[in-house]
């Protein structure tokens, strides 16, 4: 056992050193020259939350009617912002680090992983803010809080998988960045992030069925699981309690595994050609 552990450490020690260095550098450069600096990682989702809450919760009345809904909304926006930021930065990471990849020999995937880890740091800061809001709103936490890291891990795997695929495509086709910007908006408004899922399911009929199908989207499923386990297990529907069959909740998990496999495979197949096409 110790021999296997030592071999793993020897094999990945250099990669981990490079990864830590890139994560620190990327996070510092992200807000370099900004007056507020790292505070923007908190202010951006807060400002978006304020706009969405006023428009959708106050004017359009898209709320689940519970006192915890503002915190649930903020948590969903922070979680989605992580996916959007990690994929957008990861998408350009190979091309942006092209000079470094040509000068220093290290696994190319580290550049993409470091981009997503930088976004993960911002997500951690945002979750601290969400926790403070939750405490002020007197949220009653349950034992399900211990399940939150597993859902966050799934969300990171999804973001990493998309970043690996998109960074490979971006090395060949720069248009993918503009296409992903449009797709992000479609996904954001198509998932129950700014509106509660109950807003649709309460209409019944075909609307309720379509709303439940949204939970088969692994991104929506993981964000709903985070909300359910962190803030409001009583009011937040998830794929685990919306379907009668035991195998249905395994669909988004299976899609997550399939997506990361595709991402790793596509990236490995094309990584040797990056220096030629950039």
3-31 mean pLDDT? 65
* Model confidence at 10: pLDDT above 60: no
216 or 152, which is more confident: 152
pTM: 0.86
* Model confidence at 166: pLDDT above 60: yes
Residue 252 CA to residue 222 CA, distance in Å, equals 9
Determine the Cα angle at 8 with ends 6 and 9, to 5°: 65
CA count, 13 A, side-chain hemisphere, 137: 19
188 or 57, which is more confident: 188
Any domain includes 157:
yes
Any domain includes 26:
yes
214-230 mean pLDDT? 91
Residue 86 CA to residue 90 CA, distance in Å, equals 6
pLDDT tens for 137-146 read 888 888 899 9
pLDDT at 17: 72
Provide the percentage of residues in the chain whose pLDDT is more than 90: 26
> What are the phi and psi torsion angles at 215 (to 5°)?
-70, -10
* Model confidence at 128: pLDDT above 90: no
Any domain includes 5:
no
* Model confidence at 9: pLDDT above 70: no
137 within 8 A of 70, measured Cβ to Cβ: yes
125 within 8 A of 38, measured Cβ to Cβ: yes
Query: Mean pLDDT across the chain, nearest whole number?
Result: 81
Cβ-Cβ contacts under 8 Å for 278 (sequence gap 6 or more): 94, 95, 98, 171
Given the structure tokens 């880890």, which residue do they identify?
117
Residue 211 CA to residue 274 CA, distance in Å, equals 41
Burial class (CB in 10 A: 0-12, 13-18, 19+), 13: exposed
* Model confidence at 39: pLDDT above 80: no
pLDDT at 104: 67
pLDDT at 196: 80
Any domain includes 11:
no
Q: For the CA atoms of the chain, what is the radius of gyration?
A: 20
Among the residue ranges 125-139, 158-172, 255-269, the one predicted with the least confidence is: 125-139
Number of structural domains found in the chain? 1
Q: Which range of residues forms the domain containing residue 122?
A: 16-277
> What are the phi and psi torsion angles at 260 (to 5°)?
-70, -35
Rounded to 10°, the helix 250-270/218-230 angle is 130
pLDDT at 5: 53
Any domain includes 2:
no
The DSSP annotation for 139-197 comes to ----GGGGGHHHHHHHHHHHHHHHHHHHHHHHHH-TTHHHHHHHHHHHHHHHSTTSS-T
Q: Which of 8-17, 22-31, 245-254 has the highest mean pLDDT?
A: 245-254
pLDDT at 156: 96
Residue 229 CA to residue 28 CA, distance in Å, equals 32
Residue 111 CA to residue 23 CA, distance in Å, equals 9
Any domain includes 128:
yes
* Model confidence at 133: pLDDT above 80: yes
Residue 1 CA to residue 30 CA, distance in Å, equals 41
Provide the percentage of residues in the chain whose pLDDT is more than 70: 79
Any domain includes 59:
yes
pLDDT at 264: 92
32 or 225, which is more confident: 225
Distance from chain centroid for Cα 240: 20
Q: If residue 113 lies in a helix (H) or strand (E), which one and from where to where?
A: helix 109-136
Residue 107 CA to residue 18 CA, distance in Å, equals 9
Any domain includes 266:
yes
Q: With cut-offs at 50, 70 and 90, classify the pLDDT of residue 32.
A: low
pLDDT at 249: 86
* Model confidence at 2: pLDDT above 80: no
Distance from chain centroid for Cα 92: 17
pLDDT tens for 55-108 read 776 776 777 767 788 888 889 988 999 999 999 989 988 888 766 666 666 678
Determine the Cα angle at 130 with ends 127 and 134, to 5°: 135
């Amino acid at each position: 056992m110790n021999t296997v552990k030592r071999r793993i450490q020897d094999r990945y020690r250099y990669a981990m050193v490079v990864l830590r260095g890139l994560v620190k550098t990327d996070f510092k450069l992200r807000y370099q020259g900004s007056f507020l600096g790292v505070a923007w990682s908190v202010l951006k989702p807060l400002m978006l939350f304020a706009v969405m809450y006023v428009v959708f919760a106050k004017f359009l009345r898209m709320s689940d009617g519970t006192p915890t809904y503002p915190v649930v909304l903020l948590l969903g926006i922070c979680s989605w912002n992580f996916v959007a930021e990690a994929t957008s930065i990861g998408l350009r990471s190979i091309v942006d680090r092209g000079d470094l990849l040509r000068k220093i020999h290290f696994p190319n995937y580290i550049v993409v992983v470091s981009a997503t880890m930088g976004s993960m740091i911002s997500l951690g800061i945002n979750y601290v803010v969400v926790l403070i809001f939750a405490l002020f709103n007197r949220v009653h936490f349950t034992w399900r809080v211990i399940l939150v890291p597993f859902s966050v891990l799934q969300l990171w795997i999804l973001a990493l998988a998309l970043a690996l695929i998109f960074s490979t495509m971006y090395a060949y086709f720069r248009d993918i960045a503009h296409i992903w910007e449009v797709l992000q908006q479609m996904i954001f408004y198509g998932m129950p992030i700014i509106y509660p899922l109950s807003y649709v399911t309460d209409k019944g009929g075909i609307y309720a069925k379509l709303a439940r199908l949204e939970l088969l989207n692994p991104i929506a499923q993981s964000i709903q699981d985070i909300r359910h386990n962190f803030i409001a297990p009583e009011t937040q529907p998830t794929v685990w309690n919306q379907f009668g069959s035991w195998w249905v909740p395994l669909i988004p998990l299976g899609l997550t595994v399939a997506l990361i496999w595709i991402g790793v495979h596509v990236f490995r197949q094309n990584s040797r050609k990056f220096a030629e096409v950039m």
